[in-house]
Amino acid sequence: MTIAALFLMLFGFIFMGMPIAIALGFSSVTTILLFSNDSLPSVALKLFEATSEHYTLLAIPFFILSSAFLSTGGVAKRLINFAIDSIGHVRGGLAMASVMACMLFAAVSGSSPATVAAIGTIVIAGMVRAGYPESFAAGVIANAGTLGILIPPSIVMLVYAAATEVSASRMFMAGFIPGLMMGGILMIAIYITARIKKLPAQPFPGFRQLAKSGSIAMGGLMLIVIVLGSIYGGIASPTEAAAVAAVYAYLVAVFGYRDIGPMKGILWRNQGESSGAAAIRNLFQMAIALPKSVTNPEVRKVVLDGSKVSLMLLFIIANAMLFAHVLTTERIPHTIAETIIQWGLPAWGFLIVVNILLLIAGNFMEPSAILLIMAPILFPIATQLGIDPIHLGIIMVVNMEIGMLTPPVGLNLFVTAGITGKNMVWVIKACLPWLSLLLFFLILITYIPQISLFLPELIDSMRGY
């Protein structure tokens, strides 16, 4: 009865077009008022607790801010140059380099659609010029763009960690191998296609050029090193590492790359300038640019954009905590788990059901919203069936990746249609072969938990426990 009321209200409100945050909060409060004797003041208290007692959650706005600073076309160009210089000379190299650029940009920005837009705009045209079929190019990019939520740091993983209280740093580690693996699978598929279709290779630019583009790209890529390095190197917790990443991203964007902000257009070294003079000039200009950032419209826009995304997510999470509160106090996951166990559903069967449920949900909802609704329900059931929570998390994330490529709501499809100027049917057809690879990958991830668990467990054992 309670279960039915809660879910009917939730989905009724969502499909009425109510913001998901309000739908979650309102259906929860109404269920509390109807079926339990908690008072409204204590519900308000609960919401305040949800917004003010979860330090780990703050990693989310900090990462969003850092990705807002680095999700620019300029960063994308630098990463593409580096990727092409490193693997462009293999057969099908341009496509492989595009996948690599997607992985790198996605890792830094964490946003799938932004990756497709930034990398896709540049490389799809380039690939077509080099003789690749456009549908091939578009399909590869739309797919590789989804890796952003699997390769750490990942906001979706933080949301999962928040919903289930598993360790965010373990989730990050767990995503590493699957992320590289999926990228590898895409590249192998490209290589095979390239051999069959006799697709071209780029000339190797030489190690000097590679070193140069590599060091330029390093500015952005250092973010991953800083985040993972400070978490695992004993400097900071995930939340703190995220704050460091945000500050670093600001410094790189404004003082290093100078794509935005008060130093835009100022060269590191003017023509004919001695290095000493350039160093002094740069230092002086940076000292002025620091306070100027406060009023600079471009910097302000980045901060405001980051704030908008953050408040949206945090407000959903706060309301989702009310929802999770109703679930636990009404023992809903417990009831569902008991039913499932009564059916005699084994762990592998449960995982099939999970995958199907998530794939359906991914057809019309945002990843974070799905996670916040589904994780508190699936997590206790999985625990009872002996499935590792970290493994479940990676399964959910891979499902979310697939959701970005399936209609009607598939962000990567929309963006791909936008940058190629083609219609949705064309885009869906272009993505289909790659989507089937992703589905195959999902099966691997689901039934070989070691792919996800190997690295976190290795790190544990390296530390001697």
Partner 1 sequence: APVEIKFSHVVAENTPKGQMAIKFKELVDERLAGKVEVKVFPSSQLFGDNKVLEAMLLGDVQMAAPSLSKFQKYTKSLQVFDLPFLFKDMDAVERFQKGPEGQKLLGALQKKGLVGLGYLHNGMKQLSASAPLKVPADASGKKFRIMTSDVLQAQFEAVDAVPLKKPFSEVFTLLQTRAIDGQENTWSNIFSKKFFEVQPYITESNHGVLDYLIVTSAEFWMGLDDDLRTEISAALNDAIAYGNQIAAQKAESDKQAIIDSKRSEVVNLSDAERAQWVTAMKPVWKQFEDEIGADVISAAEASNQ
Partner 2 sequence: MIRKVIDHFEESFLSLLMVSMTLLVFAEVVLRFGFNTGIHWAQEVTLLIAAWFVLYGASYGVKVGAHIGVDVFVKLLPSPIHRFLTLLAIVLALVYCGMFLYGSWIYLAKMKMIGIELEDLPIPKWIPMSILVIGFALLALRFLELGWKVLKGEVEGFHFVDEAAESMEIAEELKAAEAAEAAAKENNTKETK
Of 363-402, binders to Na ion (CB under 5 A) are: 363
Look up tokens 């509160």; give the residue. 325
The site partner of 362 among partner 2, Na ion, partner 1, none (C-beta below 5 to 8 Å per kind) is Na ion
Residue 30 or 282 with smaller CB distance to partner 1: 30
Q: Which of 8, 34, 36, 44 lies at the binding interface for partner 2 (CB under 8 A)?
A: 44
Site for partner 1 in 282-341 (CB under 8 A): 325, 328-329
Look up tokens 């999985």; give the residue. 382
Other C-beta atoms closer than 10 Å to the C-beta of 137 total 24
Residue 264 one-letter amino acid: K
Q: Which of 12, 15, 34, 49 lies at the binding interface for partner 1 (CB under 8 A)?
A: 49
DSSP state of 424: H
The site partner of 309 among Na ion, partner 1, partner 2, none (C-beta below 5 to 8 Å per kind) is partner 2
Q: Considering the rule CB under 5 A, would residue 245 count as an interface residue with Na ion?
A: no
Q: What is the DSSP string of 58-77?
A: GHHHHHHHHHHHH-SHHHHH
From residue 11 to residue 40, what is the string marking binding to partner 1 with x (rule CB under 8 A)?
--------------------------xxx-
Contacts of 267 (CB under 8 A, 6+ apart): none
Q: Which of 236, 266, 290, 360 lies at the binding interface for partner 1 (CB under 8 A)?
A: 236
b vs e for 403-437, b when ≥16 Cβ sit within 10 Å of the residue's Cβ?
bbbbeeebbbbbbbbebbebeeebbbebbeebbeb
Per the document, the length of the chain is 465
| For helices 347-361 and 389-403, angle between their N-to-C axes, nearest 10 degrees | 30
Other C-beta atoms closer than 10 Å to the C-beta of 324 total 25
Q: Which of 252, 321, 415, 455 lies at the binding interface for partner 2 (CB under 8 A)?
A: 415
Site for partner 1 in 162-181 (CB under 8 A): 165, 167, 169
| Least separation in angstroms between CB 38 and partner 1 | 6
Q: Which of 231, 322, 411, 435 lies at the binding interface for partner 1 (CB under 8 A)?
A: 231
Inter-CA distances, 313 with 19, 111, 369, Å: 12, 14, 9
Q: Are 456 and 174 in contact (CB under 8 A)?
A: yes
SS3 assignment, position 169: helix
Query: How many residues belong to the site for partner 2 (CB under 8 A)?
Result: 82
The site partner of 17 among partner 1, Na ion, partner 2, none (C-beta below 5 to 8 Å per kind) is partner 2
Site for partner 2 in 103-132 (CB under 8 A): 111, 113-114, 116-118, 120-122
Stretch that binds partner 1, among 50-58, 93-101, 150-158, 307-315 (CB under 8 A): 50-58
Q: Are 27 and 13 in contact (CB under 8 A)?
A: yes
| Least separation in angstroms between CB 232 and partner 1 | 7
The site partner of 360 among Na ion, partner 2, partner 1, none (C-beta below 5 to 8 Å per kind) is none
Stretch that binds partner 1, among 104-112, 230-238, 341-349, 404-412 (CB under 8 A): 230-238
Maximum Cα–Cα distance across the chain: 79
CA distance 8 to 2: 10
Q: Which of 34, 211, 235, 353 lies at the binding interface for partner 2 (CB under 8 A)?
A: 235
CA distance 78 to 364: 34
Q: How many CA atoms lie within 13 A of 432 on its CB side?
A: 7
Stretch that binds partner 1, among 74-82, 122-130, 131-139, 161-169 (CB under 8 A): 161-169
CA distance 70 to 245: 11
Residues in contact with Na ion by CB under 5 A are: 107, 110, 148, 151, 154, 362-363, 403, 406, 409-410
Residues in contact with partner 1 by CB under 8 A are: 37-39, 41-42, 45-46, 48-49, 53, 55-56, 165, 167, 169, 231-239, 325, 328-329, 463-465
